[in-house]
Structure 1
């Protein structure tokens, strides 16, 4: 009987080198098979590349993504009706414009706000088409689109 117990023990244990190898590999295997953690927030606006830097350089003087400032907050602006953030006081021209913010309307707005909506309160424009496109991609990503 003692021989039988000894035989069972020898079958259930691994040599020390094999055990070390498994201890080393186990965390690596977990990293490879574990799903990517989710923050529960909309897709990262960082994914929009240079648009974030351009937004900070060209737009953040008056706007932020999550707080009204001189201009309205801009997270979720893409796909929204112009003048629809309830906590911001828009010009009557913008509120009555019936514009929905899309690639096309945002491009026109950023190029020349007055040509799209005369008598609006935005004084700034982005003259370079490539910069407008990057900013729009950033706003689209920040809106989860």
Structure 2
């Protein structure tokens, strides 16, 4: 996703199954040190409460609705 003048976040193509902070991007120190692989379950927990799951993350927007999280994760899983 691009914003005026640049990217808003890292490329999420292939994120499901990939180690967190594995792409070229200015990730937060918390995410770089997390050592997690983004599974559907892990993404679900993270999207529900990013700052609680990973204190220090720069992602502060949560997705409280389970059906919305599922739709996001299903979409991401199809991006290869």
Picking from 61, 76, 79, the partner of 2:17 is 79
Specify the SS of the correspondent of 1:140. Answer: helix
TM-score (structure 2 length as normaliser): 0.88
How far 1:126 moved relative to its partner? 0.8
Mapped partners of 1:112, 1:98: distance in 2: 18
Instruction: Quote the residue 1:108 is aligned against.
Output: 45
How far 1:98 moved relative to its partner? 0.6
Specify the SS of the correspondent of 1:96. Answer: helix
Post-superposition Cα deviations, 1:37-71, rounded to whole Å, max 9, x if no partner, equal xxxxxxxxxxxxxxxxxxxxxxxxxx46xxx7121
Picking from 85, 106, 129, the partner of 2:66 is 129
- Superposition CA RMSD, Å: 1.4
Give structure 2 stretches of 5+ with no counterpart: none
Structure of greater Rg: 1
Mapped partners of 2:79, 2:34: distance in 1: 23
How far 1:127 moved relative to its partner? 0.9
Say whether 1:96 aligns with 2:28. no
